[in-house]
Amino acid sequence: MYPTDYKYTREHEWVKVEGDVGVIGITFHAQQALGDIVYVELPKVGTQAVQGKTIGAVESVKAVSDIYSPVSGEVIEVNEALAETPELLNRDPHGAAWLAKIRLSAPEELEKLLDAEQYQALVAEES
């Protein structure tokens, strides 16, 4: 369920590191908890993301939920496909529905994140 080469936050975001870039998204558990997703508020390219701070929001029929950046750095690309098809987040949260790419300014922060096994344990605890 949760890719082992990703890192996770306690707030249910993930990051996959590709060189000096972190691709970020929300987890399967997060989208499931949110239900039908209707809108994704993404950061603008050029935004300086700070680990643990809000960089956007996900709107579902039920509620709105903040997205907290799992890493710090400059947002270099956002997933434009989500503007037209936010429901992609329900279908493929760990893949096609990535949210943004961030050039890592503090790669050592990754150490603070959970690995797949720890994240899975967190999810099991919460449900």
Which C-beta is closer to other proteins: that of 11 or that of 103? 11
CB of 108 to other proteins, least distance (A): 30
CB of 37 to other proteins, least distance (A): 10
Residues that bind other proteins (CB under 8 A): 35-36, 38-39, 41, 57, 59, 61-64, 83
Q: Which has the closest alpha carbon to 11: 124, 90, 123?
A: 123
Which C-beta is closer to other proteins: that of 17 or that of 59? 59
Q: Which has the closest alpha carbon to 111: 12, 11, 15?
A: 15
